Amino acid sequence: MRRSLLQAAAAEFDDRGYAGATIQGIADKLGKSKGALSYHFPSKASFASGIVEAFYRQVPAIVEPYREDGSFGIGSLIAVCLEVAQRFRDDVMVRAAVRIQREAKVVEIVLPTPYIDWLAITEVALRGARERGQVLPGLDLQATARVLVSGFFGTQQVANDLGRRVELVDWMVDMWRIVLPGIVGAESQTVLEQAMDRVRAHSAQNTGESASEPA
Amino acid sequence: MRRSLLQAAAAEFDDRGYAGATIQGIADKLGKSKGALSYHFPSKASFASGIVEAFYRQVPAIVEPYREDGSFGIGSLIAVCLEVAQRFRDDVMVRAAVRIQREAKVVEIVLPTPYIDWLAITEVALRGARERGQVLPGLDLQATARVLVSGFFGTQQVANDLGRRVELVDWMVDMWRIVLPGIVGAESQTVLEQAMDRVRAHSAQNTGESASEPA
DSSP state letter for B133? T
Find the helix or strand (DSSP H, E) in which B206 lies.
helix B188-206
Band of pLDDT at residue A18, cut at 50, 70 and 90: confident
pLDDT band at A107 (very low <50, low <70, confident <90, very high): low
Q: Are A103 and A17 in contact (CB under 8 A)?
A: yes
What is the phi/psi pair of residue A71, to 5°?
-130, -165
Question: pLDDT by residue (tens digit) across A123-167?
Answer: 999 999 999 999 999 999 999 999 999 999 999 989 988 999 999
Residues of A in contact with B151 (CB under 8 A): 147, 150-151, 154, 175
A192: which chain B residues are within 8 Å (Cβ-Cβ)?
none
B161–A158 C-beta distance less than 8 A: no
pLDDT in tens, B39-86: 899 999 999 999 999 998 888 888 898 987 788 899 999 999 999 999
pLDDT number for residue B105: 66
What are chain A's domains? 52-206 (1.10.357.10)
Mean pLDDT, range A61-81, rounded to an integer? 90
Higher per-residue confidence, A96 vs A209: A96
**Would you state the pLDDT for residue A104?**
72
User: Binning pLDDT at 50, 70 and 90, where does residue A214 land?
Assistant: very low
> Where residue A108 falls among pLDDT bands split at 50, 70, 90?
low
Do the interacting molecules here have an ipTM over 0.90? no
Q: What is the pLDDT of residue A170?
A: 97
Q: What's the whole-model pTM score?
A: 0.89
pLDDT of residue A81 exceeding 80: yes
Nearest in space to A177 (alpha carbons), one of A188, A167, A169, A166: A188
Q: What is the mean pLDDT of chain A?
A: 89
| Region of A34 on the Ramachandran plot (φ > 0 left; ψ -120 to 50 alpha; else beta) | alpha
Nearest beta carbon to residue B114 from set A105, A150, A161: A161
Which residues in chain A touch residue B18, judged by CB atoms under 8 angstroms apart? 106
Residue of B212 and A94 predicted with greater confidence? A94
pLDDT at B146: 97
Q: Is the pLDDT of residue A109 over 60?
A: yes
The separation between the first and the last C-alpha atoms of chain B, rounded to the nearest angstrom, is 7
Q: Which residues of B touch A106 (CB under 8 A)?
A: 17-19, 103, 106-107
Taken in order B127, B130, B134, B138, the sign of the CA dihedral is positive
Q: Which residue of A has its CA nearest to B140?
A: A174
Contact call for A147 and B155, based on CB within 8 A: yes
pLDDT in the model for residue A1: 76
Contact between A151 and B153 using a beta-carbon 8 Å cutoff: no
Q: Which residues in chain B show pLDDT less than 70?
A: 105-108, 207-215
